Structure 1
Amino acid sequence: MHVLIVEDNPDIIANLFGYLEPLGYTLDVVRNGNAGVARATAAFHDAIILDLSLPGMDGVEVCRTLRQEYRLATPILMLTARDTEHDKLTGFEVGADDYLVKPYSLPELDARLKALVRRSRNEHVQSVLSFGELRLDAGTGRVTRAGQLLDLTPTGYKILTALMRAAPTLMTREAVEREVWGDSPPDSDALRTHIHTLRQVLDKPFPYPMLLTLPGTGYRLAAPGET
C-alpha cells in the first residue's frame, strides 16, 4: 500500500515509518500543506495521512483543496491533537474520510488505513468509472471509448481500472504493478508488454492517445488537448 504522509513533526514521522514500513507500506512524506497538495496531485497514493496542524496551509485547507479544486478521491485519514466535535465535523465537512486524535494507537491507524482503502476500492468496483471518452462499467466488465466497445485482456482491464481510478494523476510503475499483481510482480518487461497491448486497443484506432508514458517513472491517462 502506497501512503502519503503530510506531517511536520519528525518524531511522529519516525514512528509511522518505524511501524508501517515493516508491515509492507511504501511511504512518501512531506512536511507542510502546500507540499502535501503538490505531492498528492502529482502521483498516485492508496491513502493520505494528513495532520491538521501544518505550517502554511493547514490540514483543513489541504483537504478542501484536494477535494474541491482537484477532485481527488484518495482516502484521507486526518490526525489531530484537537479532540472536539467541532474539529471533527469540520474535517469531515471538507472531505476527510476518517479521524484519529493524538496520541493514537499505531495498530488502530493501520487498521483504519486498510479499512479506508478497502472501502474506496469496493466503491469503485460497484460504480461506473469515466474519464474523458472512456467509460468502464465494473458491474458488466464493459469498457468503451467514445461509445466504441474495447476488447481488453484481463490484465489490460486491471491496468486501465487502476489508471482510471487515479486519472489524471500519474501512477508509478511500482503502483501499477501492485494493483495488478500485488506483492509478487513478474519480471520488469511484463508490465511494458501489457501496456503496449493495452495501447493498441485503447489508442491506436482513435485520433489521439490517452495512455501516456513518463519514461522511467510511470503512466497516466490524458484528456483531450493534453497530448
Structure 2
Amino acid sequence: MRLLVVEDNASLVANLFDYFEARGHTLDAAPDGATGLHLATHQVYDVVILDWMLPRMPGREVLRRLRIERPVQPVIMLTARDELADKVAGFRAGADDYLTKPFALPELEVRLEALLARSGKRGRDRVLEMHGLRLDLRTLEAHRDGQLLHLYPTCRKLLETLMQASPAAVSREHLEHVLWADSPPDGNLLRSHVYELRRSVDGPFAVKLIHTLPRVGYRLALLGKNSEAPADVQNRGEQTTPRVG
C-alpha cells in the first residue's frame, strides 16, 4: 500500500512509519492540513490516514476539499475525538472509516486492508482512457497511442483534471485552484503549464486534443477538422481556433 499520513504528532508518525515500512508499505507524511491536502490532490495514495485536529487546516476541511478533487480517495480518520457526535460528523464529512486514539497498530493495518478491499471497485477509476490517451493514476504514467509521455507533476495534474471533465470545458479558475488551492501565483503561470502539457500530449501527434476556449478555459476533446466551438464562446466574437496557452 501507498499511504499518506496527515498527522502533527511526530512520535505517532514515526511509529506508523516503523510499523508499516517494515511490512513493505510506502508512506508519505504531512504535518499540517494544508500540506496534506496538497499531497493528497497531487499524488496518488491507496489510503489517506487523516487526523482531525491539525495546524493550518482542520481535518474535516481537508476531507471536504479532498472529496471535491478526489471523490473516490479512500480516507480513514485517526483521532482522539471519540464522541458519537464526532464520529457521525466525520462520516458525514466523507470519511470511509474512523479509528479513535489510542489504538493498536495491527487494528489499523486490518482496517486499512479492509478499506482497500472495499474500494477495489473504485480502482477501475484510477485509469483514465480516451482518444488513445491513457493516464494511470496508480503508476502516474501517461501514454498516447502507446507512446510514453514525459510529464512534470503539475502537467500530470492538469491532464488528470481535463480528462476527468472531458469533453466539458474546465475554467481557468478551477485549474488554478487544483494546482495552487487558494494561493494562485501572480502572472500567467497556468498558460505556461498548459503550453508544456500540449508539447507532450499534442506535439508529436497530428490530431490535437487540448483546446482553448477564450475567456473560459480549456478542454480535452477530439474535434473534427471543421468542428466549431460552442455557440456561447463564438458569440463573444473571439478567435475559436485552438491556440497555445
Q: How would you bin the TM-score normalised by the shorter chain?
A: 0.5 to 0.7
- State the match for 1:111 in structure 2: 110
- State the match for 2:79 in structure 1: 80
2:27 is the alignment partner of 1:27: yes
**Corresponding residue SS for 1:65:** helix
In the alignment, the residues of structure 1 paired with residue 104 and residue 28 of structure 2 have an alpha-carbon distance, to the nearest angstrom, of 20
Shift of 1:3: 0.5
Q: Is the 8 A contact 1:41 1:72 kept in 2?
A: no
- State the match for 2:64 in structure 1: 64
In structure 2, runs of 5+ residues without a counterpart are 163-168, 171-193, 198-245
Q: Is the 8 A contact 2:67 2:73 kept in 1?
A: no
- State the match for 2:94 in structure 1: 95
- State the match for 2:152 in structure 1: 214
Q: Whose RCO is larger (CA < 8 A, sep 6+)?
A: 1
Shift of 1:85: 1.1
In the alignment, the residues of structure 1 paired with residue 88 and residue 147 of structure 2 have an alpha-carbon distance, to the nearest angstrom, of 43
- State the match for 2:139 in structure 1: 176
In the alignment, the residues of structure 1 paired with residue 27 and residue 126 of structure 2 have an alpha-carbon distance, to the nearest angstrom, of 27
**TM-score, structure 2 length as denominator?**
0.58
In the alignment, the residues of structure 2 paired with residue 129 and residue 43 of structure 1 have an alpha-carbon distance, to the nearest angstrom, of 12
- State the match for 2:54 in structure 1: 54
Shift of 1:119: 1.5
Q: Is the 8 A contact 1:51 1:59 kept in 2?
A: yes
Shift of 1:56: 2.1
**Corresponding residue SS for 2:139:** helix
Bigger Rg, structure 1 or 2: 2
In the comparison of the two structures, how many residue pairs are matched? 164
- State the match for 2:145 in structure 1: 200
The structure-2 alpha-carbon separation of the partners of 1:67 and 1:212, relative to structure 1 and needing over 3 Å to count, comes to farther
Q: Is the 8 A contact 1:212 1:220 kept in 2?
A: no
Name the aligned partner's letter for residue 29 of structure 2. V
Shift of 1:176: 1.6
In the alignment, the residues of structure 1 paired with residue 31 and residue 5 of structure 2 have an alpha-carbon distance, to the nearest angstrom, of 8
Q: Is the 8 A contact 2:2 2:26 kept in 1?
A: yes
Q: Is the 8 A contact 2:49 2:75 kept in 1?
A: yes
**Corresponding residue SS for 2:54:** coil
Aligned pairs for 1:128-143 (under 5 A) are 134=129
What RMSD over aligned residues (CA atoms) do the two structures have, in Å? Answer: 3.1
In the alignment, the residues of structure 1 paired with residue 88 and residue 34 of structure 2 have an alpha-carbon distance, to the nearest angstrom, of 23
Equivalent pairs: percent with the same residue? 42
The structure-2 alpha-carbon separation of the partners of 1:107 and 1:218, relative to structure 1 and needing over 3 Å to count, comes to farther
Q: Is the 8 A contact 1:213 1:220 kept in 2?
A: no
In the alignment, the residues of structure 1 paired with residue 126 and residue 7 of structure 2 have an alpha-carbon distance, to the nearest angstrom, of 31
- State the match for 2:218 in structure 1: none
Name the aligned partner's letter for residue 144 of structure 2. R
Name the aligned partner's letter for residue 151 of structure 2. T
The structure-2 alpha-carbon separation of the partners of 1:43 and 1:59, relative to structure 1 and needing over 3 Å to count, comes to same
Q: Which runs of 4+ in 1 moved over 4 A?
A: 128-131, 217-221
In the alignment, the residues of structure 2 paired with residue 59 and residue 104 of structure 1 have an alpha-carbon distance, to the nearest angstrom, of 18
- State the match for 2:2 in structure 1: 2
